[in-house]
Structure 1
Amino acid sequence: MITRRSFLKLAGLTSLGVFTSACSQAPWLIGQANLPAPTIAMVNWHNSANEKTTAHVLKRLTYGIRPADIEQVMSKGISTFIDEQLNPKSIPDNRAYWLVRRIDTIGLNAPDI
């Protein structure tokens, strides 16, 4: 007779095996099996010390450097960029407003929901 504890151990190990084997098929299931593995872009292509400083600021304050970000930050100035990042209300976010306004419960208080 199998005990409850043995059954739960066996079920847990079986489900763990099933889930880990399913993870190996995830890229194939979503159609990305032939894509190369993601790599971290090296930022060694900067010409001047100012570009290196700007790239460092962008790496520390954002989720990564996009191609146009360095020129944009250099034209504004690093201190202006940092002030914008610390004051998010100064950044226009019209697209997010139009996407979120469709959700009726966003403007409600907790007791009203």
Structure 2
Amino acid sequence: MRPMRGFTLLELMVVLAIAGALAIVAMSAWPAYSARARRTAAGAALVSTLVQMELRHAQTGSYETRDMSPGSPVPGVDGYTIVGNQPCTPASRQCAMVIAIAHHADPPCGTLTLNSTGERTPDDPACWP
């Protein structure tokens, strides 16, 4: 007679318990992962927009153009609206700033800003992965 092949009920239950524990850990880490991914995309969009603005400034000597008035929205990324061509200070024409405004509350970071002098706010490194 051949020995029986297969898994016992106890072995299957242990495997299901381990899979359930791993799923719970993954589900608890998912919101932080997705928030970090959205912040990374917003940071990349800010850098890209600022590079375009700096190129325009190098060619024309001004950050202002017909197609991007101060405070005009730029195509956004998931979870953020990118606002470009903001002056760093009200009277400054030698500095420009781009802003990423979160669609949903992002308590650790909130609104991300990057200006043409390289200053980023907030200063928390977790906000700029």
Task: Give your verdict on TM over 0.5.
Answer: no
**What is the TM-score when the length of structure 1 is the normalising length?**
0.27
**What is the TM-score when the length of structure 2 is the normalising length?**
0.24
More strand by share: 2
The structure with higher relative contact order (CA 8 Å, sep 6+) is: 2
